[in-house]
Structure 1
Amino acid sequence: MNSENSKWHILCEKDVGLFSLIQQVIGHIPLALMNNRIPVALYRDQCCYWTSQGYMNADNVWEYYFEPIIADKPASSLNNEILDHIKSRPPHFEYPGYLINNDVFVTNNFGNHKAFKGQTLKIPHQWDDPDRQLRNRAAKIIADYVRPRQYIKEKVDLFFEEQMKGYKVIGVHMRATDVTDVDEHNIHRRRSYSFQSFVEQIRRHLEEWPKARIFVGTDSQKALNGLIEIFGERVIHSSSIFHTSQDLAGTGPAGWVIPGYLAEDSQKAAKNGEEAIIDYLLLSRCQHLIHNGSGLARTALLKNPKLPHTNIHSKAAYFRSLIHLGNGELFKFLKFSYQHAVHELKKPVKRLIKWDQP
């Protein structure tokens, strides 16, 4: 497809989780449309979901799972001149992006740079969950521009018809493969996984809905097995790829820390991405969502702004843990806070990227 005479807003990948990439698209759509540019997700080999073999007849991670953001403008619409320029000068996530020319803007910033203030949707990705106003705005964007491919919709609809239709369903998303307690330097993820807290919240909702089913999306086989052991046949799930090894952490293609089981095999990672999208869509159709701090759960909240939810990992709960000196958490909090402050003060200017209002 010819890309001549088109104005582009090109979103490039980072070495992060799939739902951070999805939220990047959601956040940037208003900015692209405001500037009459065509948004396109060009997610290639610098994220762990990309595989050189391609996936489901697509060679771009976004299009593994979703229709092109604009239906008749897939990533293949971009000409070689644009692609070569991006390859030679990839955007840096700490900067807003740059203009190749008056018609082509390139970025891989999440959308929360101060230069974008008031122009992008600022989606929380640390402690906070999206508020109702943000969820309402994002839901409209998702409906119009974040459209799963037909093969995914068919799998979601089939599972829903067979396992969820006619039941109250408690959705549970358990992110359990953060490098918790020992090595995780992101304060908002420390101590984020508490199996017992999930169990307590599920039991609380079963008091209200005693015949409810429990749909579980998780990255941990151990966590899933634990819920099945307690709640039995009412637990349902659709995924088959889980973390099972002792190595919680792995390294992505750009050297960033990612869950270990995603670093093992790129084709397996691509399949895991499909399963995660299916989990997200099914969780968004539950009657209540119990979750910790994860992009997948928060994207389900964005898709369905009426979905009630409970976040078991609050900032208050974490900071209360600091007063229990025996667990060593206060020392780790001070250590990682200091390291983060030093990083911000001494951060090198890796490249000078000109910012022009797109």
Structure 2
Amino acid sequence: MKREELLFWKGKARNGFLIIQNHDLHAGYGALLLYALNGIRKAESINAIPIIDFNEKSCPYFYDAKWGTNIWEYFFEKVSSHTLQEINDWIKEGILSGQEVHFISSAEAAQTHQYDPERLATFWAWETPINKVSWMKEKRALGRRYVQEYIRPKEHILKKVESIIATQFKASFIIGLHIRGSDFAYAKPTPIQAYFEEVDRLVDERNDKDYQIYVATDQSQYLDEFEKRYSGKVIYLNAVRSDNHIAPFRFEEISGYQKGEEVLLDILLLSKCQQILKGAAATGELALWFCNHNNITDFALQSEFNKKKYSELESTYSQLNVGNKSKTSRKTQILRERIIRRFIESKIGKVIYYRSTLARKILKH
């Protein structure tokens, strides 16, 4: 293949390639999607061809050898047709120069993720927008544009979505909701009672019993509560969930592929619901980027970003006492979380956590 052909993409000659990798070991599935999309945005800005390389080293929680080496390609079609291995081969052969291959540093990725005003984002960070409604609408429109142009779920994923809809989505009105629990900590969590009140309002407003509620949650207690309150009306994915403060994506005993697929299925199934309720967490907002309506109840607008150091954050499970723990047990849990976070935040802790699978098992939080 000629050099000019290699650097031609989407009807335009390009200046090189941008390799998009993950630098955040604490990233859940939603965060990985955001890192990928912001990487694509960076590629656009420098007129480069994006190549997403989410590998075992950078994304250990979602890696599954049975599905290959690139985690992005477990779930999505390639954004461009080339691979990192091909790029390296072309450099060795002298077809490309190393200066034509660009990378995003860890510092740049972190800066973009929380500070860049032009970034794709599901929630604000250190700089609170003056008008939250306008900010969310703007980011949602941007997210929808990028998803429509660049994101193509694999055919086997789409077939699963179709099958679930055909067998479980039976009512004329489906309320979809995402309620985050477990380790969610970067923003003020929305209590389950707020969801109950909004579901009740929507049902009363329609005055029609032909409805179902699709519940997407990482917290088993939340699903139990919805089933108790809306018996016979709740539908959900048979997914791995947590009954404590540890997010399911950190469960080492579960297939990395399974953990990723379950989140993506929740996102896509939520996007098919006629009304969507969501909080500040990424999964609910990402679902809106895959849908074409604005029938939304956005609890994120009542939330706030927690402007604290990582070591001072407290999980939703703990903040809302989801497990109904005694005062003493809750204090002990909060202390344990804080000690682990402080260690991981330290220089030596970061190195150990990044390099050791055993350390990540011991330091679940």
Structure 2 residue 266 is the aligned partner of structure 1 residue 279:
yes
Matched residues, percent identical?
21
- Out of 143, 160, 183, the position equivalent to 2:165 is 160
Give the direction of change, closer, same or farther, for the CA distance of 1:274–1:114 in structure 2 (3 Å limit).
Answer: closer
Aligned residue in 2 for 1:226: 225
Partner of 1:138: 143
Q: 1:317 Cα deviation (Å)? A: 12
- For residue 50 of structure 1, the aligned residue among 36, 50, 62 is 62
Pick closer, same or farther for the CA change 1:11–1:82 going to 2, 3 Å.
Answer: farther
- Residue 207 of structure 1 corresponds to which residue in structure 2? 204
TM-score (norm 2): 0.67
Contact 1:213 1:234 in 2 (8 A): yes
Question: What's the CA shift string for 1:102-161, capped at 9, x where partnerless?
Answer: 31111151572699665x545535486763233223212212211111110000111122
Structure 2, unpaired ranges of 5+? 8-15, 308-326, 346-350, 352-365
1:38 aligns with 2:49: yes
2:55 aligned counterpart, secondary structure: coil
Tell me which residue corresponds to 1:97.
Answer: none
Report the equivalent of 2:75. 65
Equivalent-residue separation in structure 1 for 2:280 and 2:121 (angstroms): 16
DSSP-derived class of the 2:232 partner: helix
The one-letter code of the counterpart of 1:139 is R
Tell me the distance in 1 between the aligned counterparts of 2:90 and 2:156: 33
Instruction: Give the corresponding residue for 1:171.
Output: 176
AA of the residue aligned to 2:238: S
Retained in 1: the 8 A contact 2:122–2:281? no
State the 1:218 CA deviation.
Answer: 0.7
CA contact (8 A) 1:291 1:310 kept: yes
Q: How many residues align?
A: 289
- Counterparts in 2 of 1:85-164, with a 5 A limit? 101-107=98-104, 108=106, 109=109, 112=112, 118=118, 120-121=119-120, 123-126=122-125, 131-164=136-169
Deviation, 1:289, is: 1.2
Aligned to 2:33: 22
**Alpha carbons of structure 1 residues 237 and 36: separation in structure 2 relative to 1, 3 Å:** same
- What are the Cα deviations for residues 164-209 of structure 1, in whole angstroms up to 9, with x where unaligned? 2662111111111126xxxx5x4x24xx141222211111111123
Shift of 1:36: 2.4
Partner of 1:10: 19
Deviation at 1:273, TM superposition (A): 1.0
Higher helix proportion (structure 1 or 2): 2
Distance 1:219 1:80, change over 3 A: farther
Residue aligned with 1:233, SS = coil
Q: Is the 8 A contact 2:178 2:278 kept in 1?
A: yes
Report if the CA contact (8 A) 1:286-1:307 is conserved: no
Distance 1:5 1:116, change over 3 A: farther
Q: What secondary structure is seen at the aligned counterpart in 2 of 1:112? A: helix
CA distance in 2, matches of 1:268, 1:51: 8
Distance in 1 (CA, whole Å) between partners of 2:242 and 2:222 is 10
SS of residue in 2 equivalent to 1:68: coil
In 2, are the aligned partners of 1:170 and 1:288 still within 8 Å (CA)?
A: yes
One-letter amino acid of the structure 2 residue matched with residue 163 of structure 1: Q
| Maintained 8 Å contact 1:48/1:266 | no
The 5 Å alignment of 1:315-330 reads 315=303
**Matched AA of 1:157:** E
The 1-side partners of 2:192 and 2:214 are apart by 15
- Find the residue that maps to 1:199 and give its secondary structure: helix
Q: Is the 8 A contact 1:171 1:290 kept in 2?
A: yes
Amino acid at match of 2:200: R
Higher relative contact order (CA 8 A, sep 6+): 1
The Cα shift of 1:18 comes to 0.9
For 2:235, the equivalent position in structure 1 comes to 236
User: Which residue identity lines up with residue 82 of structure 2 in the other structure?
Assistant: K
Q: Distance in 1 between matches of 2:86 and 2:279?
A: 38
Helix, strand or coil at the partner of 2:51: strand
**Over residues 277-309 of structure 1, what are the superposed CA-to-partner deviations in whole Å (9 max), with x where a residue is unaligned?**
011011111111112221111111222252322
Contact persistence 1:177–1:243 (CA under 8 A): yes
| CA deviation map 1:23-58 (0-9, x unaligned) | 122233233124221112111222243335243xx3
Q: Distance in 2 between matches of 1:155 and 1:230?
A: 28
RMSD: 3.8
Q: Aligned partners of 1:148 and 1:155: how far apart in 2? A: 11
